[in-house]
Structure 1
Amino acid sequence: MESLNENSKNGKKVKIKKVFKETYALLKVGGGNKKKEKNVTKPNLKAYLEVGLEKLSGTSTKHNKQKITIKENMQQINNSCLEEQQPTINLLPKFNKVPQINHNNVGTNETLEQVQEMHQFINRLQGILEQDIEDSFSPTNTNNLLFVHNYLLQLELSRDNTMQEACTASQDIINILRSYFIRLDKFSNYFTNYLWNLSKILMPLAKNGQASTVISSIAKIIEIEEAADERAINQNQLDSKKSFRVIKSYRINFFYQIDNSILNLFNEKFKNHGNSLLQLLDNLDFVFDDLILVKDEIDPVFPSNYNILTFYVLAYHRNVYKCIESILQNDPDTETILRLIGWVRHYYIFMEKNLYFYEDLMEPNLLNGKEQSLIDDYLNLVRSKFHEWKTNLIESDIKEFTQRQNSPEFDSDNFAKLPGAPILISMVRQQIDVAMKSASYQLLIDVVNECCIMMSEIQQTWINLLESELQRYLNNQEECADEIIIYIVALANDQLGYTDFIGGLLNQFTSSLPEEHIKNINNLFNNLTNGFFNVATNSINTILDIIFNDLKSPFKELHTAKWYKVDTMGDIVFTLKDYTDECNLHLKSYNFYKLMINMLNRFVIAYLESMRNKAVTFRMPHCIDKMRKDIHSISQFFSQYIGAQELTSRLDVINKLHDFLGTSKESVHLGYYSIRKSYGDVPRKYLKYILSKRNDFDPITMMKINKILKDKAAEAGEYNGERTVFSEIVIKDLEKQKPELMKDVQEAFHNMQNISSRSLRKGKKKNYLSTINNIFQNRNK
């Protein structure tokens, strides 16, 4: 029995030796001393590297600079090995003795010894990798990675060929052979795991400047392994002698590792920032830098048919989509929605501009086609918020404006202001800033439009309130007088603050938006600015309404019997000065100047209207001197605030009326031409009326003057020029007085006709004419 077992063992030994002998020719690299080993190993490694350089030179044509760098680094690895710059090479055992066992007729003990030497060599290779694992970013790793893979590849080839030759042997022999290569199998797995670990950190390696070294080595190894897989597959398909190589599918596994690393990267971002939607969105910006790094550093070192950049772009896109969906599903607020829209728009622009990937090529769409729906939702939220803010804000300001329990606020320049203006500006500024981050020009215009609508509604609210408060004041001055002027001053000042704010926004948009969008925004802002100026103008006019309401009585006294006895114009100047001093302290300069100009215009109109008051009597020539003294007094007041040329121009109409009023009946036509030349729309009836108030013109004279005025007005023709101050004068009451005047004239002429028909003496006729004159003189007193 023992003899049979011994024979069986001897038979197995013979078959194993035969297998090693037949595979010897496939892996023969020599078997002498160290010198011979070096002479054989180095050329093999050199040939391996040269093939690598040759293949690498054709992998990509996109970045010549990167190709040159990679080639230089590979050449450096080659030189490093050939010049024995790595001490580990000299320590390597003669692992190639394994296939020489049968050739040298060595027995079982020597076979085991040589297998042990192979294991020791593998241990040394693994030691090299273990050192590299401790510092994956070491600049020497690229040399070691290619070096170890070169020998690993030869060992695996020896193993595969050995198993190929032993395929017809018994299962026991195959099992023994497999046991010899278990250590090699484990090391191969160890190397593969290390390669995949490196593949998971391609991005950090590239950032560390190792794209042309470590990453290019990874690319070369995958390419070589893929080629070996392809040869094995072809052999299996075409040759009856099947290859024993295990198909590794490095390329597929490599992309799998990248995909997992990208997934883990995004999961980590979501884990750290998922509780804050805005933080999560802000922390997605790394995508842009990463993909540029892939394009510039990683993609060029791989064969072009690997499409590394495309893989990264699509992998990143899938994960970005998940993050965007997560944000959308968590009911984002208005700011987040706009930021999200802006980020997505920037994302697609970046992809197209920098990476040449268009939106329609990347699926799924980040917003699932919901961008317009999100914009509409946002605009609805903006409208709702604006309505809420406007209601609360305007109610608060209206309450303070109408109750006026305290004085309004004053800024550092002592200008009055209302509390709501800064709040409104802040709200609008916030919404526009958020809209600008959306990177959507149309959305920005829509938001600006909503802001303009809200502010326009507020403008109209103030205009209506000014009207109602003025009426309330006129109806009950004692109750409503307190602080009303200073509050209106504050309102007028706020409008200038709004216009400055809108002007700043327009300047900002002009420098950052395309011209075609600027036109739309410019139209919106122009209308809004005009609205603010309109509120300011209404405020100033309301102040003037209050002032001139207080001056009604003094203006009614002008040119009446009382006027000749007292200094009525002095009262008017005193009242104007009192109001002006208050406004000058707290009204912004632009509004104050406008107030004074409008005040002067109001004075001129009130003065012109006062000249045709019912109780007016122009006592010639004394009245002309007194009237000119009045105008000198008012001129001195306004000259403190208005330039001499402007003041003279606006008071010119009064001076010309004084001249016209003082004209003789013989030169009235010249006076008319003079005033008509400067003020083409001066009503003839107005001129006729003030002349009729002269105490030295009788009705007969006035009839002649009226005929002259009519004739000269007809000669001058209809006036179609620019409107003057006379367009502001109300003359309807002149028409009301006309029947009364005509009645007196008709009565006088009736008496004269009776006198003529009775052929009275001339002296008696004069008495009747005197009676007629007395009638008119009594009416004019």
Structure 2
Amino acid sequence: MGEPAESAISSLADLLRYPDDLAKISSIKERLVRDKAAIDLQLKSGVQTQLDITKNGLKNLLDAKALVGALSSELVNLHIFCAQAEKMVPGFSQINRVSKVRRNFMAVEDVMRNLQELPAKLNQMEALIDADGKDIFGPMTNFLTIHYELSRLRDFRDQAMFQAARSSEDAKRTLQKYFTRLDNVIQEFDDIVFDIAQNLLEVLREGNSSLIVRWAKVIDLEERLDTKVKILKSASESHMELARHLSMSSQPTGMTRALRNYDDRLTECIKLGAKDVFRNCVSTFPDDPSTLLDNLYWVTRDILFAKTDLTKCVPANWKITNRFVAAYHQELYVLFKSLVSKDTEAGLLLKVVRWSQKYNDTLVKELEIPQEQLTPPLLDGQEEEILGDYMRLICRKVDEWMTNLQKTEYNEFIERVQAPDVDPESKYGLANTPIVFQMLNQQINVGIDSDEIRVVAGVIHECKRQLLVRQQKWINVVRDEIQKSNSAMDEVPGGLLEYCIAVANDQVRGADYTENIITRQINVNVDVLVHSDDDRNTQTRMVQELEDAMDGFIATAKSCMLEMVGMVMFDLQPSFANLFKNSWYTSPVTTTAPDGTITSTPASLVIQEVVRTFEEYNSELTEHFNPDLFQIYIDDLLEATLVSYLSAISKNKGASLSARSLDQIKSDVAIMYPFFTTFTDSEHVESQFNGIEIFMGLASSDKIGAIEGFRALKENFPDAPLKFVEDVLRAREDLDSKSVKEYMEAVRSECASLIMNPTTDRRTYMSRLYI
């Protein structure tokens, strides 16, 4: 839909804003028709006026053409009449020759007299020049006098050289020698003229506006005389037929004058002056481009000075402001070309783009310089590409710094020469994590400084990528070190548990740091860069990326805890290998009180050893582990313990279940249960220990009990495998293989729906029994 149509719809929406407005459609239509008729009348009147002006213009052009043709015809007729008059006057040819001889004689006398007076006049000019002292910042009171006298001498020289054009070479060389000194004095004066032209603004700033006005009169006069010569030559060339009829014996006044091109040389001097000013500025800051940019404020200042002050001293048709704009802009273009390269640092690139934008806005909006005069664009219209380079430079720096930091912290973890850092709350941590986020915040701030939300988004994306890479690397390093420790404990450095705690704690710190970036940077600092729906979507996407990084930190912390739990369970493999075997059984400890009361305390050497190991680890964990992570660790340890306990019935060779086994299991539970309820919610522990309770039921029940046991198992643990029931039944000493088969057929038959349509919406530790 075009812009006019959109405008019409918008206007119609304003007129019909409310339902009641529909009743006014007739009156609105009449008003619009009247408005349209009035506009059509205005347009018709305007078009007619322009048509009349155009017709009058064409008529005037035709009249002028006819007038020029008539004038040319009259001149030709005049020449014919003159030629006919020669025949009418007796002896006209002799009279004409005598007249020519007299004119030539008088011309020769003028040349001789001027040549004789030339040395004295040159002495006078040199004295006046010396009196002014060639100081362009001084008053130079003789400036116009010198120019006037030199102009007369130059005209005499040009006339003499023109008349000598048909003379011998010796005569020309002799005449040129006479004028050598004049040429030198002219050159000396021209040097002053163009020295002023090259330093116009400086001369004006010194308060010497009088000299600028007199200088401008000189340039203007010379340019008008040059224009006159050009017009005469152009007329002579374009009216060759008329010139032939006129049979001119001498050139018209001014035709002998050599072009001096002061105006063109003025433009070149302004360019040279700009080049000198820029060269001096660059040489002042040869190795500091950032400071150089800070000290280019004089560019717009000079252009403003030329526009407001210099224009008052020179003719308006010079368009002096445009000349300064062109000269300064070209020098800026060259300078910026040299500043922007592949090796330019990010901060300088941003500064260049910002300076360019501010310069353009100042000239166009404040100084009202037309945009088309600022060509070529300072950065060739590559601001977007440069901002992209700026973003990539930041990302490259982030990558370099993160890579170097990661090498250091991974080596510290692997070598474990010294203990991890400890915060004021005695929690372990890594020294480089605060440095990582300090660096990321700095680079995000650098991106924000660009005032471009796309740049910030690119930096945030790179930060997220680096954090995810770092998280995955920590997962791999922790896993590898624990595997090395499990395979060859004596060959690895100590302190592995402490460093694992530090890594896990740091993931929580990393999530907090990331949340601070979202809160303080993205939702506050970046919010000022949001100017459209696309910008708002970009901001939302940045928040989502950082939230993904936060999720990654939590996942990494959980992975570290699982690896730590795995390390603990690896140490306990020998203990769990004795479960449900003869070495597992331990008689209860019986004690007699003074009053004769006999009490029996559950005893289980295997589980006691397991719990003692847990307590040894916990002595380190409770003091130095993040409390929230410790709670998750306990939950993971509980599940891992139950998995190792229940899976032992199928994994341990020679494992069996008897009536005596139930008492031993109860003794094990009596030791394990209190340990876990000390650190976590008792209801949660009880729900997890339901697996052992169901296990005990399967270890002693009849066929109906086995069916109910499987149902209870699936109800509490939907992902529990049927194989677990079969392994428990096979381990029972009171069942032979035939009975086991019957039990399993009954379970399959009665619980077919549970087996065929398992519920997988909730994962429990039962799914890990056979991993």
In structure 2, what is the equivalent of residue 25 of structure 1? none
Q: Which moved more, 1:488-497 or 1:511-520?
A: 511-520
- Report how far residue 545 of structure 1 moved: 1.3
Q: What is the CA–CA distance in structure 2 between the aligned matches of 1:285 and 1:728, rounded to whole Å?
A: 72
Residue 476 of structure 2 is aligned with which of 464, 478, 481?
464
Q: What is the CA–CA distance in structure 2 between the aligned matches of 1:476 and 1:299, rounded to whole Å?
A: 89
AA at the equivalent of 1:573: V
Residue 629 of structure 1 is aligned with which of 667, 670, 673?
670
Q: What is the CA–CA distance in structure 2 between the aligned matches of 1:428 and 1:192, rounded to whole Å?
A: 56
Map of 1:700-739 to 2, 5 A cutoff?
702-716=740-754, 717-726=756-765, 728-731=767-770
Structure 1 residue matching 2:749: 3-state secondary structure? helix
Q: Give TM-score, length-normalised by structure 2.
A: 0.55
In structure 2, what is the equivalent of residue 538 of structure 1? 559
- Report how far residue 485 of structure 1 moved: 0.4
- Report how far residue 242 of structure 1 moved: 7.7
In structure 1, what is the equivalent of residue 719 of structure 2? 681
Q: Give TM-score, length-normalised by structure 1.
A: 0.55
Q: What is the CA–CA distance in structure 2 between the aligned matches of 1:304 and 1:505, rounded to whole Å?
A: 58
The CA deviation string for residues 422-461 of structure 1, in whole angstroms up to 9 with x for no partner, is 5555665666666666677777666666666666555554
Distance 1:574 1:420, change over 3 A: same
- Report how far residue 231 of structure 1 moved: 7.7
In structure 1, what is the equivalent of residue 707 of structure 2? 669
Conserved in 2, the CA contact under 8 Å of 1:605 and 1:728? Answer: no
Query: Are residue 316 (structure 1) and residue 328 (structure 2) matched?
Result: yes
Q: What is the CA–CA distance in structure 2 between the aligned matches of 1:349 and 1:377, rounded to whole Å?
A: 16
Q: What is the CA–CA distance in structure 2 between the aligned matches of 1:526 and 1:301, rounded to whole Å?
A: 65
Conserved in 1, the CA contact under 8 Å of 2:274 and 2:327? Answer: yes
- Report how far residue 702 of structure 1 moved: 4.2
Query: Are residue 408 (structure 1) and residue 408 (structure 2) matched?
Result: no
Query: Are residue 350 (structure 1) and residue 358 (structure 2) matched?
Result: yes
Map of 1:120-519 to 2, 5 A cutoff?
199-200=201-202, 262-284=274-296, 287=299, 310-327=322-339, 334=343, 336-351=344-359, 353-356=361-364, 362-363=375-376, 366=379, 386=399, 393-422=405-434, 424-425=436-437, 458-480=470-492, 482-505=494-517, 508=521, 511-512=525-526, 514-515=535-536, 518=539
Query: Are residue 595 (structure 1) and residue 633 (structure 2) matched?
Result: yes
Conserved in 2, the CA contact under 8 Å of 1:195 and 1:218? Answer: no
Conserved in 1, the CA contact under 8 Å of 2:646 and 2:769? Answer: no
Query: Are residue 582 (structure 1) and residue 620 (structure 2) matched?
Result: yes
Structure 1's unaligned 5+ residue stretches are 1-125, 135-144, 168-188, 733-781
- Report how far residue 483 of structure 1 moved: 0.9
AA at the equivalent of 2:720: V
Distance 1:619 1:436, change over 3 A: same
Residue 548 of structure 1 is aligned with which of 545, 563, 569?
569
AA at the equivalent of 2:201: S
- Report how far residue 251 of structure 1 moved: 8.1
Distance 1:665 1:222, change over 3 A: farther
AA at the equivalent of 2:678: F
Structure 1 residue matching 2:659: 3-state secondary structure? coil
Conserved in 1, the CA contact under 8 Å of 2:720 and 2:767? Answer: no
TM-align CA RMSD: 5.8
Q: What is the CA–CA distance in structure 2 between the aligned matches of 1:556 and 1:322, rounded to whole Å?
A: 80
- Report how far residue 657 of structure 1 moved: 4.6
Distance 1:724 1:532, change over 3 A: closer
Conserved in 2, the CA contact under 8 Å of 1:600 and 1:638? Answer: no
Structure 1 residue matching 2:478: 3-state secondary structure? helix
- Report how far residue 543 of structure 1 moved: 1.3
Conserved in 2, the CA contact under 8 Å of 1:659 and 1:671? Answer: yes
Q: What is the CA–CA distance in structure 1 between the aligned matches of 2:688 and 2:215, rounded to whole Å?
A: 93
- Report how far residue 710 of structure 1 moved: 1.0
Conserved in 2, the CA contact under 8 Å of 1:435 and 1:447? Answer: yes
Distance 1:450 1:308, change over 3 A: farther
Conserved in 2, the CA contact under 8 Å of 1:338 and 1:435? Answer: no
Conserved in 2, the CA contact under 8 Å of 1:321 and 1:366? Answer: yes
Distance 1:529 1:303, change over 3 A: farther
Question: Sequence identity of aligned pairs in percent?
Answer: 21
Structure 2's unaligned 5+ residue stretches are 1-130, 157-190, 233-250, 365-369, 530-534, 588-602
Q: What is the CA–CA distance in structure 2 between the aligned matches of 1:518 and 1:326, rounded to whole Å?
A: 35
In structure 2, what is the equivalent of residue 9 of structure 1? none
The CA deviation string for residues 6-61 of structure 1, in whole angstroms up to 9 with x for no partner, is xxxxxxxxxxxxxxxxxxxxxxxxxxxxxxxxxxxxxxxxxxxxxxxxxxxxxxxx
- Report how far residue 358 of structure 1 moved: 6.0
Conserved in 2, the CA contact under 8 Å of 1:270 and 1:280? Answer: yes
Q: Pick 1 or 2: higher relative contact order, CA cutoff 8 A, min separation 6.
A: 1
Distance 1:222 1:689, change over 3 A: same
Q: What is the CA–CA distance in structure 2 between the aligned matches of 1:726 and 1:712, rounded to whole Å?
A: 25
Distance 1:690 1:285, change over 3 A: farther
Distance 1:194 1:608, change over 3 A: same
Q: Which moved more, 1:527-536 or 1:293-302?
A: 293-302
Aligned residue-pair number: 554
- Report how far residue 573 of structure 1 moved: 3.0
The CA deviation string for residues 69-98 of structure 1, in whole angstroms up to 9 with x for no partner, is xxxxxxxxxxxxxxxxxxxxxxxxxxxxxx
Distance 1:394 1:503, change over 3 A: same
Q: What is the CA–CA distance in structure 1 between the aligned matches of 2:312 and 2:666, rounded to whole Å?
A: 100
